[in-house]
Structure 1
């Protein structure tokens, strides 16, 4: 699906969906620039990949020096060559409510789940960075489409990201760049495990009732992500694909 000179920057690549996307893209032939905060987990993921020589690990905390993110992306292209794709899977969920609304916490989570991907997009869409025909992929959330209690800030930030992606897609299409969103429902990841630990075992059983095909696996998202990043999806842009196991 990919060639080794198709370099894809993937954030959140040390665990969960981001790790699964990185492993899938390497398996499909791409060179992956895998970014996360935890260097040790990145190395473990690199060793688990089918081609460690096509896995380059990068460390970054996206809440630090946010204004420098576009320049950071440009620096990656200067050091490793122009990018074919960027998949942004780094993020942080939070269970919240209007009653417990805290402005400082809301700003932090909105920055991570909305401002960070927009700044990454700004860097990738620089003519010196993104290759013509390439793609930008945001991992959003079904919470952007199916708002529910307990996801006030997270759902709002992801909904804003979906809207922004549509706008960005129209802006960069004349340059041959594509922009996608994937909005998964509940996927068995460490982040979901933390939510269940907070909400209790009844939370999982209650949610399962709405998923005819059960909860997803990170690989279920990764297969679709790799397709959208590839040339096989050359005529697709500006869409938000909801992966939810038939949720109702």
Structure 2
């Protein structure tokens, strides 16, 4: 039953994203992206994008991690990914793999790529996370919830409700043991009771940012968790 709700959740998530995209004003400035493909059913997907010079290049995708940064220029205010490097001039939309509106002032983005509903076109959807230090500060976490029911995170001093189909901000954890570790547990609501679906001790320091992705596989009864640890770049030393 939970797995059957996944498609409904994706539809809700896309409608929400569409509403935000209609509010976002087109961006013509270059955009630096780091991408992650979150498709538990397939890890072999390849995608392409146009770089800042308009050349079609392969999208940097790394298993279990964010890809290396790439520069692109949004087209009519949207980030577009392609299935192949060649474009059919008679039917350019046929090779579009995913498309999402980019907010006007966004200069750096973490791009989470997720599969859309079965037989949808384009086949994939994207979630943009503002990669600036102001929007995603050192030590902070983001929780992307790809399930159709409430989940919750308990980490250090934080107890945070994570709503379906949204990105939840979590401030840096400060209640740590002498090794900068904190118990980090995720729960989902089942029959009016909270049930843990992921529990571990994690290190929280300002050099790290965390992205948690809660999702459910078809046929499963409980959510699963993907965790990305993003190492913050060191500031350049003064000369």
* TM-score above 0.5, yes or no: no
Structure showing the higher helix proportion among its residues: 1
Structure showing the higher strand proportion among its residues: 2
Which structure: larger Rg? Answer: 2
